[in-house]
Amino acid sequence: MLTFLQSLWESSTLSPHGICLLWRPDLIWLNVGSDAIIALSYFSIPFALAIFVSKRPAVEFGWVFWAFAIFITACGMTHVMSIWTLWVPDYGIEGFVKLVTALASIITAIMLWPLLPKVLALPSPAQLRKAQADLEEQIAHRLEAEDRMRQSQKLEAVGQLTGGVAHDFNNLLTIIVGNLEIAEQNLSSWSKDAEDYVRRAISSAMGGARRATALTQRLLAFARRQPLAPKPLNVNNLVNGLSEFIRRTLGEDVELEVVGRAGLWQVEADQAELEAALLNLVNARDAMPNGGKLSIETSNAFLDETYCRDYLDVRSGQYVLISITDTGGGMDKETLGRAFEPFFTTKEAGQGTGLGLSQVYGFVKQSNGHVKIYSEPGEGTTVKIYLPRLLRDSAQPEPPPREIPGAHAGETILVVEDDPDVRAYVVEVLRQLRYRVLEAKDGSAALAVIAPVDLLPTDVVLPKMNGRQLSEAMKARHEHLKVLFMTGYSRDAIVHQGRLDPGVELIQKPLSQQMLALRVRAVLDAVK
């Protein structure tokens, strides 16, 4: 066996391949040139593969590149041996090189075939480009969502500030409005000229107070701090009821179109606040100074998960959609981004407070709804309000209130208010209505009253003990006690998720004489 292997390397009896080509010497150099070029090309390929793998250490299946490099290097060596054996008959070495090449090729093939399914599973360049485009789109959505979140946080911060100011501001308005009414009632002792002058002054001051009241209510609506009293509503009926008033408000140059969908779902919302929101949106007429068209359309809608994922506070589900579209000048991107900010307005100074859309935003969000503005310069604007569908059976509408009589004999009212001026005003109004009135500045003073009490009008925000806690303590003493909460800002004492707790009676500041008289009588006459 050893002798046989030695014979493989014995070249003394062999002739070089070049002897066969001596009759055509030009063919010798043809083979040399071709094999040399092939060998150099083969040697350059593994060199390039080695550079690629070293520069990309995280490349998938890097070992395959090294396997191919070894195989291709071995192939290059076979061509080198083809040149060598033209002059030197080292056919044993040539056979050994071919053996190494064969082993490298078969090992590479054996390793490559099981790898083929994994390689085919890798994404193609087209798939990678699509994945990159999808990723860029997701990044854009995320950046937009982050911008909305920052905007929402900014609006929430302003809302908290607004809610804190509203309580004291409404107390001041109660004092102003109440004393203006008292002054007006006592003008008979003045001379005619003086009475006319003072009456005009009081009327002007009262107008300013009412505007301040409306301003405060809009701020509270934006801040989502106003207590809502939602009831089942048919939006079509509400819009149709407002349409004539809206048409007169728009004037003759603006056409109004109302399209109500048949079979519209019911919603549960505060009717007064929804009407105020729609009337604020009617201000779109200011965007159409030369006339145009305003369309109000209602429909049923479904917001799916795909839509809601871009909004942190919007849930998927069934909604009633109210679309208000105008043919005005539209908004640019910067204006659109700030449209819901309080006090932001594109109007000249003195022509708008910038609270219309803020009120709409706050009311819709407090009603667990969604509001979106679509607008482009020169293309008009569409505001879409989504209110959640009422899924439970709606209650029967309440009968209209009957005529309110005066005070009944022996009725006692305990007024609890920490602001002395507000308390003095409320006590004075109730005494003029012939009620027996007691007063207290806080919960401790109220609990010290031992006389029987029929009604407890109490401020919600009191020092140490809030109005809700006081009412519970008083009801434990007086079985038939009725409670009327007074508030300019209720916080969370009587409100849950922006809605009044069941059975809670509330009157909002600032208080006028007529409002207070009617509300007190209604609560006293209500059947428990």
In a domain, 127, yes or no: no
- Which residues, other chains included, contact 129 with Cβ-Cβ below 8 Å and sequence gap of 6+? none
CATH number for the domain spanning 502: value is: 3.40.50.2300
Q: What is the spatial distance between Cα 14 and Cα 16, in angstroms, rounded to a whole number? A: 7
Cβ burial of 90 (10 Å; 0-12, 13-18, 19+) is middle
Residue 394 domain flag: no
Do 43 and 118 fall within a single domain?
Answer: yes
The dihedral built from the CA positions of residue 197, 200, 202 and 208, taken in this order, carries a sign that is negative
**Are 247 and 358 within one domain?**
yes
We report the CATH number of the domain holding residue 298 as: 3.30.565.10
- Specify whether 159 is located in the same domain as 82: no
Shared domain for 214 and 250, answered yes or no, is: no
Does one domain contain both 8 and 116? yes
**pLDDT tens digits for range 462-516:** 888 888 889 888 888 887 899 998 876 655 545 554 556 667 788 877 777 878 8
Q: Same domain for 95 and 198?
A: no
Last residue of a domain, one of 223, 246, 269: 223
Q: Say yes or no: 438 and 507 in one domain.
A: yes
Q: Is the pLDDT assigned to residue 355 strictly greater than 60?
A: no
pLDDT digits (tens, 9 = 90+) for 178-193: 767 766 666 665 556 5
Domain count across the chain: 4
Last residue of a domain, one of 223, 239, 261: 223
* Pairing assessment for the beta strands 254-259 and 231-233 based on DSSP bridges: unpaired
Same domain as 251, residue 191: no
Pair (28, 99) in one structural domain? yes
Residue 137 lies in a domain: no
Higher pLDDT, 84 or 16: 84
Query: How far apart, in whole angstroms, are the C-alpha atoms of residue 361 and residue 314?
Result: 13
Residue-number span of the structural domain to which 198 is assigned: 145-223
In a domain? residue 139: no
Domain co-membership, 110 together with 50: yes
Per residue in 114-125, pLDDT tens?
777 776 777 777
Of 351, 365, 220, 199, the residue nearest 287 (C-alpha): 351
- Ranking 23-37, 247-261, 270-284, 454-468 by mean pLDDT, the lowest is 270-284
Lowest mean pLDDT among 34-38, 99-103, 125-129, 257-261: 125-129
Query: Is there a single domain that holds both residue 371 and residue 514?
Result: no
251 and 344 share one domain:
yes
- The predicted model scores a pTM of 0.47
Distance CA 427, CA 240 (A): 42
Structure token digits, residue 101: 């090449």
The distance of Cα 286 from the centroid of its chain, to the nearest Å, equals 27
Domain assignment present for residue 130? The answer is: no
